[in-house]
Chain A
Amino acid sequence: MGYPHPTHPKETPVLSRHFGDSDARSFDGWKRRGGYASLEKALGMSREQVTEEVKTSGLRGRGGAGFPCGLKWTFMPKQRTQPHYLCVNADESEPGTFKDREIMRWTPHAVIEGAAIAAYAIQAEQTYVYIRGEFTEAIAIMQQALDEAYIKGVLGINAMGKGVRIDMTIHRGAGAYICGEETALMNSIEGKRGNPRIRPPFPAASGLFGCPTTINNVETLAAVPPIIEQGGAWYRAICLSNPNSTGTKLFSVCGTVRSPGTYEVAMGFPLKDLVHDLAGGMRPGRRLKAVIPGGSSVPILTADEAEATLLDYEGCVARGTMLGSGGVIVMDDSVDMVYQIMRLARFYAHESCAQCTQCREGTAWTTKILQRILHGQGKLEDLDLLLDLSEQMTGTTICVLSDSCAAPVVSGIRKFRDEFEAYIDSGRAVAQV
């Protein structure tokens, strides 16, 4: 189906095939569409076999870092000497990213099924689904699906009658971007401020409540049932470019395109086609100026660079950026780059947890300098200052929020320097800051 647009012929709908079909939300509707057959199959396999199938698929984490999913599961202890936990990361707060919300609101049982399979593979008796507090609709739909799954015996102390305990709990966030970072997420579930933790220890050794823990993104887990159903080799074969980037990926396209929305394509799909074809291209009379392809935390691409980019992990790196979360922010020639980069810096300044000096001070200072430039009071040296500051904010902190602020600033100044200089030279001030 597709939502909010019907599936485009160039899409490869696997996770999105029931988007827009509200009947797929109910337990019965999900069963009618073949749902929970994968969980049943997985529970009949050994834990090692399930993990092996996911490794074969080549599935990599869809939350941003792209870490191989099956490999991550093997880091969990083989012998369970204390509780194991699974956390489903549904915090989705990275500007430009809105795919997990679609997965949860159209196919909540896909998330539950994928999480249940993962929980079985890593011997987690309790799974926490951490959903950002603002997602009121998604939370209600997920809670209803979860209640149904319990009533139908899919979850609980004897999941699907197979003698395995799989419990699942929705944990509502309360407004903090940083809680999407996996160690901050665990602190938040524990009832603490959402400050990221220093690693090591890594979550698989000591995570939630000090116990072995795996954290996976919603989209990663939703891809697991089709992999179990059709096999890792089938998933691995979905690939248009680099063999290290397999399967389908949901790209949420937003900004100044005619048809914003979530589109699912095979890894290696051309960004050019995604923007100009699937998302409908620019509005009349407008030209493409820039694209941020992986959520606001990755370097900005110029129009030329964007049009030459293949959307997979390696293809984005080849163009000096990253695939990230797959949040594609499109900007046409009406966009004031200086203003929007300031707006992104302000986002990171607002969301910094303030533990690390480089981040707390760096994000705030970056924002102030950009605002000064926008007020027509910038100096040419400010651009060097911003670059220097960004360098000090990269690779120096507990988590990468600080690096994320630097990415658009550095790439923005490098690629759109004339726009910064125009503000500085003319002393022109923007209408509102």
Chain B
Amino acid sequence: MSQTTGAGAVAGAESLPPVFDEAGRRELDAVVARYPTKAAALLPALWMVQRKHGWVSPQGMAEVAEALALTPAYVKGVVTFYSMYHQHPVGTHFVQLCTTTPCNVCGAEKVAEAFLRATGAKRLGETSPDGAWTVVEVECLGACGFATPVLLDDDFIESVTPESVPAIVARYR
């Protein structure tokens, strides 16, 4: 379901630090304690991986599998189901903008074009040549009255218009 193709501008898998070092392990243990099974901590554990590495690499999946006593194949099966886990490195800034019907009738596709222009990314789903920006189109972000909503990294920005895009991009540069 992921729309990210990722141009691979970011560091490769070789150099990734472990997620479940002593501090990571403690954090994971606290999560596991909230559930009757270890496997239930899988989504939270994958979020920890993405927070640390910026994406969920095969190495990250293997680490999660080991920590939760699952197989890497099982973990991969789950990762591929959810569109928010990046299976490839993405740009330094990741822009997810909604183009589903309610936003679409308010001109969301124009906002998408404005983001491509302002970031230099050539196409939706591709990372800009400088590795700084990946812009993707996503389905309804649950903020349809604030067309067009944009999730820029972890910041939820409401009511973005083509005119307001350059200033937003400048703020994150």
Q: Do A and B bind each other?
A: yes
Q: Would you call A191 and B40 a contact (CB within 8 A)?
A: yes
A97-B144, A134-B96, A340-B101 known; A191 vs B41 contact (CB < 8 Å): yes
Given contacts A137-B156, A191-B37, contact A176 B42 (CB under 8 A): no
Within 8 A of A (CB), among B127-173: 138-147, 151, 154-156
Output the nearest chain B residue to A191 by Cβ-Cβ distance.
Answer: B42
Which residues of the other chain, A, contact B5 by a CB distance below 8 angstroms?
none
Q: A176-B82, A190-B40, A347-B139 given as contacts; is B104 within 8 A of A340 (CB)?
A: yes
B residues 16-75 touching A (CB-CB < 8 Å): 34-37, 39-44, 46-47, 68, 70
B88 CB, min distance to chain A CBs, angstroms? 15
Closest chain B residue to A172, Cβ basis = B47
Contact with B along A96-134 (1 / 0, CB 8 A): 111011000000000000000000000000100000111
Q: Does B13 contact A (CB under 8 A)?
A: no
Further 8 A-B residue pairs, CB within 8 A, beyond A94-B140, A137-B156, A347-B101: A95-B139, A97-B144, A134-B84, A134-B156, A136-B155, A193-B78, A254-B102, A254-B147
Q: Which residues from chain B contact A169 at a C-beta distance below 8 Å?
A: 34-35
Most central of A167, A193, A194, A335 by chain B CB within 10 Å: A193
B83, B99, B106 interface centre (most CB from chain A within 10 Å): B83
27 interchain pairs, CB-CB under 8 A: A4-B145, A98-B144, A98-B146, A132-B142, A133-B84, A134-B151, A169-B34, A173-B84, A174-B85, A176-B81, A188-B43, A189-B35, A190-B37, A191-B42, A191-B78, A193-B77, A252-B144, A254-B147, A255-B106, A296-B140, A327-B144, A335-B105, A340-B104, A343-B104, A347-B100, A351-B139, A353-B81
Q: Which residues of the other chain, B, contact A347 by a CB distance below 8 angstroms?
A: 100-101, 139-140
- Of A198-206, A224-232, A256-264, the segment with at least 4 beta carbons within 8 Å of chain B is A256-264
CB-defined contacts of B104 to chain A, threshold 8 Å = 340, 343
A76 interface contact, C-beta 8 A = no
10 smallest CB-CB distances across A and B, nearest first, come from A191-B42, A175-B84, A174-B82, A175-B83, A260-B145, A254-B144, A191-B39, A193-B81, A95-B140, A254-B102
Interface flags, A347-370, vs B, CB<8A=1, else 0? 100110100000000000000000
* Chain B residues, Cβ within 8 Å of A353: 81
Mask: chain A, 49-81; 1 = CB below 8 Å from B; 0 = not: 000000000000000000000000000000000
Q: Name the B residues within 8 Å of A193 (CB-CB).
A: 77-78, 81
A83 contacts the other chain (CB 8 A): yes
CA distance A188 to B139 in the complex (A): 19
In the complex the two chains form, is A190's CB within 8 Å of B39's CB? yes
Shortest beta-carbon distance, A133 to chain B, in Å?
A: 5
A166 interface contact, C-beta 8 A: no
**Interface size on B (CB < 8 Å)?**
45
Q: Is A344 an interface residue (CB 8 A)?
A: yes
Q: Which residues from A are CB-within-8-Å of B36?
A: 83, 209
A344 touches B106 (CB 8 A): no
Contacts of B1 in A (CB 8 A): 175-176, 350-351
Closest A residue by C-beta to B109: A432
Asked if A282 is an interface residue, CB under 8 A from chain B, the answer is no
Q: Out of A95, A190, A191, name the residue touching B144 (CB < 8 Å).
A: A95
In contact, A343 and B100 (Cβ under 8 angstroms): yes
Instruction: Give complex CA distance A351, B109 in Å.
Output: 20
Q: Is A135 an interface residue (CB 8 A)?
A: yes
Which residues on A sit within 8 Å (CB–CB) of B106? 254-256
Task: Check A173/B43 contact, CB under 8 A, given A93-B140, A101-B142.
Answer: yes
Cβ B44 vs Cβ A172 within 8 A? yes
- What separation, in Å, do the CA atoms of A261 and B82 have in the docked complex? 29
Whether A92 contacts B142 in the complex (CB less than 8 A), given A255-B105, A256-B106, comes out as yes
